[in-house]
Structure 1
């Protein structure tokens, strides 16, 4: 007898299998953390929901900066590399991004609940999480923006490192990020981030 749980498991597996084809060696990917990156603090789950660790911090306060930096690079897609996905699930974590242009770029996450490595994901170094995704999908053109350097040894040129308590609000980080985007993804194009972008299912 087929149960509702069986149907859900099959649906999740189908999504995972079909999404594999969305990544290739030509994909342009930005692995994106949330805490201390898109806002200047850690965030915590409470009975009232997720809140910033500092009362002076607004969640996703730097999302408009990311939007502006990515605007000339219409080909760049976002893979979420944040613990928010493990806590909230992929769809909800993506939907917490306050700007539609960013939500529409999101095509997956490094945390995949049906993966054999899901149970140890949270104890795995951030760089290792990202590099496993890179290897699995054969991605050659990628950057990661994160406050955590661990696991990125040997791949520092791919990491835009944000300081805890500052995040993407740091002007020097913004300048470095802009240079890295051009070096990794080529000259800025005229395609707006709002053009021809449609939401995707997770990988």
Structure 2
């Protein structure tokens, strides 16, 4: 299972939203939204049993897992099985939790055989979850060479597992 943030992972973390036109990358110049999605497709290609749970705030902002996943390329979209936030949750309570606790709560709910989280926010991660986090560069995201290598190593470690909870949303 891969827990996926977008901002600071698939593109620089400074993303804003315009009413009516959606999210846009504010800084630095020359970057685009989801610019590193193809890198993630390549990283995941050897591991067809690795599913994605969206841990991005985009799910709350766009209003659904489906709308958020639709922004991803088809190869990633097909792997999405849900999000750390879902409609039965209190949005304000959830938003007040550190990202690490949001992910950890979802891991406790889904109980994947193996999991990894890609995020540029390292604050508030419980000790038992930190080993599953690959902390990304806030601007370069997963394209930063040491981050890319760390993801490869962690995927190899969990890649042999298939998630029994692949259908859970």
TM-score higher than 0.5: yes
User: Which string of whole-angstrom CA distances, capped at 9 and with x for unpartnered residues, describes residues 41-68 of structure 1?
Assistant: 3211113321112132100000000000
Query: How do residues 77-92 of structure 1 correspond to structure 2 at under 5 angstroms?
Result: 77-89=51-63, 90-92=65-67
What is the DSSP-based 3-state SS (H/G/I as helix, E as strand, rest coil) of the residue aligned with 2:121?
Answer: coil
Partner residue, 1:26: none
What is the DSSP-based 3-state SS (H/G/I as helix, E as strand, rest coil) of the residue aligned with 1:76?
Answer: coil
What is the DSSP-based 3-state SS (H/G/I as helix, E as strand, rest coil) of the residue aligned with 1:167?
Answer: coil
Deviation, 1:120, is 1.2
TM-score, normalised to structure 1, is 0.74
2:115 to 129, 136, 142: 142
Partners in 2 of 1:185 and 1:151 — Cα distance? 26
Partner residue, 1:167: 141
Quick check: 1:40–1:169 contact (8 Å CA) kept in 2?
no
Quick check: 1:127–1:149 contact (8 Å CA) kept in 2?
yes
Query: How do residues 38-187 of structure 1 correspond to structure 2 at under 5 angstroms?
Result: 38-47=10-19, 48-54=21-27, 55-89=29-63, 90-97=65-72, 99-115=73-89, 117-154=90-127, 155-186=129-160
In angstroms, what is the RMSD of aligned CA positions?
1.8
Partners in 1 of 2:14 and 2:94 — Cα distance? 19
Structure 1 outlier segments of 4+, above 4 Å:
none
Which deviates further from its counterpart, 29-38 or 47-56? 47-56
Quick check: 1:109–1:202 contact (8 Å CA) kept in 2?
no
User: Which structure's residues are more often helix, by fraction?
Assistant: 1
Gaps of 5+ in 1: 1-28, 188-199
Partners in 1 of 2:79 and 2:31 — Cα distance? 25
Q: Which structure has the larger Rg over C-alpha atoms?
A: 1
User: Which string of whole-angstrom CA distances, capped at 9 and with x for unpartnered residues, describes residues 68-125 of structure 1?
Assistant: 000000000000000000000211111011x11100000000011222x333111110
Deviation, 1:131, is 0.6
